Structure 1
Amino acid sequence: MDNQQQPAAASDDAAVGGPERPTAMREINFRHSSKFVPLLEHLGCSLLVSTYAAGKVVSVGACDGQLHLGFSNFQQAMGIAPPRQASDAIGVKTSSIAVGGPNVIWFLRDGGSLARQVDPAGTYDRAYLARESFVTGNIHVHEMQWGADGQLWIVNTLFSCLSTLHEDFNFVPRWQPPFITELAPQDRCHLNGMAMEAGRPKYVSALGTSDAARGWREHKSDGGVLIDVPSGQVVAGGFCMPHSPRLHDGKVFMLDSGRGKLVTVDPQSGQAEEVASYPGYGRGLAFHGRYAFVGMSRARETSVFGGVPICQDRAAMRCGIVVIDWVSGQSLAFLEFESGVEELFDVQVIQSSRRTVVCGPYPREDQQLPVWVVPRGDQVDAIVGGASGDCVQRKRTC
């Protein structure tokens, strides 16, 4: 077991400001099992983890037998949309991620070869650079996924719907469970997780089927459901505050969060089968082959978690990531935050990257040097249609 300490920036949990509001400093202590680093190195991947109340996106990488954690400030970071491959305006292949917050969604683009120039030079093999933000207002963004058409699908928890984005609106409602009768900012069923199939939403998780404002709280111990999006039918129920449905290797996985279990669900029969248990409130699930990366949180001391089975022994709860071999059900390795971080929300695997850096919107608070990405002259011509020379000449003679 290795014990390490990392200074990082922290959030003001009561803050409700917009993207201009960075966070304060905090100290984070963490430890990991002996197999955690070798496993990441064997898989050749890194992780991105959102910490919600701590206001961070954490990059987790391993290189030369050492664990490396990087912390980037994103106020109340929630869902992280995994890398999406696309081509930019001049035909260069890129990938993008998105990070959801209380009022905005941040879009970050893979910097390609620039990763090795990020200070300290030669350290990173992948860099995601903040490029744009979209103001949604505080719609309680939860999980997000890219659609086949490149649109970002968002679990809009406050309005109990799935949404996409449009420049003229805060959000575009695209789907609601049939039991929700109107679009209202009332968090009626606590819609929270989404699984995609062929680039379209296939399943969602919700903490209840209530049509009343925050009505899901009345049956939180066993009212959780998995819903088939195309049909609108509840295909499985009886879960305790479920999160993070995923389709992987022909199976439907989900976190029965309030019971601390990773399960598979048969949508035909509605039966759930336990794969493994873990000592925390589960949120965030990502896969790399036969390995499942599960986010664990300690429950807050609030009435929301009263009567939740996993919270009966709060002293035993852990915050961190557990790696599970979902074929055998064996827990193989873990990373635990001992202090400074109490809750995780999302976990994403960044494949073919041993060390990923996130250059977010607050480089000073992240203790990073600023990064500017500027096109070459020939790229400027391609972007503006070959008219840049006249424009530059005019500027010189004014």
Structure 2
Amino acid sequence: MSDASASPASPAAALPKLTAAHITCSRGLADWLRANQVSLAFTSYQTGRLYLVGVDDAGSLAIHEVGTGRAMGVWADAQRLVLATAFQVWRFENILAAGQTMNGADRYYVPRVAHTTGEIDIHDVSVLGDGRIVFVNTAYSCLSLLSPVHAFRVLWKPSFISKLAAEDRCHLNGLAVRDGEVAWVTATSRSDVISGWRARRAEGGIVIDVVSGAIVTEKLSMPHSPRWYDNKLWVLNSGSGHLGTVDLSSGDFTPRAFCPGFLRGLAFHNNHAVVGLSLSRDGSFSGLALDDEMKKRDADGWCGVQIVNLGSGDIVQWIRIEGAVSELYDVAVLPGVRRPMAASFTGPEINEPMTFEM
């Protein structure tokens, strides 16, 4: 089967107009995606967009924007996307069969299920081995699951959080899954008062072992996006601009690469790390070691995505965004996907194509 029977309406026609975002990419990015048989996804809560990056039939880079409202954590595999937005968690499903295409895309993700949580400032989201969706409930300083009745179900909280309240006490933000279970989380501090983490941005950032409750390290600065890959715990030490690993015994952080931005969003594929970068801003992102690192390198900040070769630590491919988008939150890889597209639940394309199961 070559093409689906119906074509979606143009997403651009249904979305609010934005100040133009200028996107540039490294010359070899399309070839890298094709050689590694992977596509990318990244989110911008600032502009309410999910971006899908693949390669078209001519071998050129194809970037598809999907209007979602505030777009935060994203989890993906070849057939499904899970996305956290301002007050909901959405599940997107690919409707194309193997070998089927639509408008040149080999995956077309349609939003099928939305769970309303209310505004709890969800950050990272993932899927456990048993299929349950887990997310970081930053406002309430805990890990949560979806509940069929309530806004959320509490799965776990740090031992130093004395009360579940919508106070963003420690800025719990990232989660790492190992063998289908949540294994580690990151937080900006171990504060137990409302917004207490804001006075602890430069140091005291922590990684917690969820099973034991032990703090693995508190030597980081605004850590984000812990991920288990190649039998190592990788973390973005966002306050310094470094991707690196945390030793589970000593808690020591070993930098692997410096990326010129405030880092959030980390995924892996074929011995490469895909890292999201945001521009620094006044307030939460200022007054950090990152400022000195940038001055030392005579560097300007980036918003975009950089791909790091884990063997050499070199940045081998990149996407840079200027203009309307200055901050990203998360990134994901879509293995085995050539060109992904998706329907927005904010536009008319949600009605086409109308597929059904028999």
Superposition TM-score, scaled by structure 1 size = 0.82
| Alignment partner, residue 100 of structure 1 | 84
Structure 1 residue corresponding to 2:67, chosen from 70, 73, 78 = 73
Distance 1:191 1:204 in 2: 7
1:23 is displaced (CA, Å) by 4.1
2:256 maps to 1:292? no
Instruction: Say which SS state the counterpart of residue 183 (structure 1) adopts.
Output: coil
Indicate if the aligned counterparts of 2:19 and 2:323 stay in contact, CA closer than 8 A: no
1:110 is displaced (CA, Å) by 1.4
Q: After the TM superposition, which of the residue ranges 307-316 and 251-260 deviates more from structure 2?
A: 307-316
Instruction: Say which SS state the counterpart of residue 216 (structure 1) adopts.
Output: helix
2:335 maps to 1:351? yes
Instruction: Say which SS state the counterpart of residue 319 (structure 2) adopts.
Output: strand
One-letter amino acid of the counterpart of residue 359, structure 1: A
| Alignment partner, residue 5 of structure 2 | none
| Alignment partner, residue 48 of structure 2 | 55
Instruction: Say which SS state the counterpart of residue 205 (structure 1) adopts.
Output: strand
Distance 2:62 2:180 in 1: 33
Distance 1:8 1:128 in 2: 13
Go from structure 1 to structure 2 and tell me whether the alpha carbon gap of 1:180 and 1:115 turns closer, same or farther (over 3 Å shift).
farther
Distance 1:209 1:369 in 2: 43
Distance 1:341 1:9 in 2: 17
Structure 2 residue corresponding to 1:141, chosen from 122, 136, 146 = 122
One-letter amino acid of the counterpart of residue 72, structure 1: V
Indicate if the aligned counterparts of 1:114 and 1:127 stay in contact, CA closer than 8 A: no
Structure 2 residue corresponding to 1:210, chosen from 187, 191, 199 = 191
One-letter amino acid of the counterpart of residue 336, structure 1: R
Distance 2:286 2:47 in 1: 22
State the Cα deviation string for residues 56-109 of structure 1 (Å, max 9, x = none).
00001124331111100011100012238xxxxxxxxxx322111111111111
2:289 maps to 1:309? yes
Say what the alpha-carbon RMSD is for the aligned residues.
Answer: 2.2
Indicate if the aligned counterparts of 1:130 and 1:359 stay in contact, CA closer than 8 A: yes
Instruction: Say which SS state the counterpart of residue 170 (structure 1) adopts.
Output: coil
Indicate if the aligned counterparts of 2:53 and 2:63 stay in contact, CA closer than 8 A: yes
Structure 1 residue corresponding to 2:324, chosen from 340, 343, 352 = 340
State the Cα deviation string for residues 199-251 of structure 1 (Å, max 9, x = none).
11100000000001110111110121111000111101221111000000101
Indicate if the aligned counterparts of 2:18 and 2:324 stay in contact, CA closer than 8 A: no
1:308 is displaced (CA, Å) by 1.5
Indicate if the aligned counterparts of 1:293 and 1:321 stay in contact, CA closer than 8 A: yes
State the Cα deviation string for residues 316-352 of structure 1 (Å, max 9, x = none).
1000110101122111111100222111111000011
Residue pairs, 1:59-208, within 5 angstroms: 59-63=52-56, 64-83=58-77, 95-113=79-97, 116-118=100-102, 120=103, 123-208=104-189
One-letter amino acid of the counterpart of residue 309, structure 1: A
Go from structure 1 to structure 2 and tell me whether the alpha carbon gap of 1:117 and 1:125 turns closer, same or farther (over 3 Å shift).
closer
One-letter amino acid of the counterpart of residue 146, structure 1: V
Distance 1:208 1:350 in 2: 32
1:271 is displaced (CA, Å) by 0.9
One-letter amino acid of the counterpart of residue 317, structure 1: G
Distance 2:355 2:33 in 1: 33
Go from structure 1 to structure 2 and tell me whether the alpha carbon gap of 1:67 and 1:22 turns closer, same or farther (over 3 Å shift).
closer
Indicate if the aligned counterparts of 1:283 and 1:296 stay in contact, CA closer than 8 A: yes
Q: How much identity, in percent, do the aligned residues show?
A: 33
One-letter amino acid of the counterpart of residue 97, structure 1: L
Go from structure 1 to structure 2 and tell me whether the alpha carbon gap of 1:115 and 1:134 turns closer, same or farther (over 3 Å shift).
farther
Distance 2:126 2:314 in 1: 28
Distance 1:212 1:9 in 2: 43
Residue pairs, 1:255-334, within 5 angstroms: 255-301=236-282, 303-311=283-291, 316-334=300-318
1:8 is displaced (CA, Å) by 8.7
| Alignment partner, residue 252 of structure 1 | 233
1:369 is displaced (CA, Å) by 7.8
Instruction: Say which SS state the counterpart of residue 39 (structure 1) adopts.
Output: helix
How many pairs align?
344
Indicate if the aligned counterparts of 1:242 and 1:255 stay in contact, CA closer than 8 A: yes
Distance 1:241 1:224 in 2: 5
Distance 1:335 1:306 in 2: 23
1:268 is displaced (CA, Å) by 0.8
1:306 is displaced (CA, Å) by 2.8
1:9 is displaced (CA, Å) by 6.4
| Alignment partner, residue 387 of structure 1 | none
Indicate if the aligned counterparts of 1:8 and 1:26 stay in contact, CA closer than 8 A: no
| Alignment partner, residue 18 of structure 2 | 25
1:198 is displaced (CA, Å) by 1.4
Distance 1:38 1:331 in 2: 15
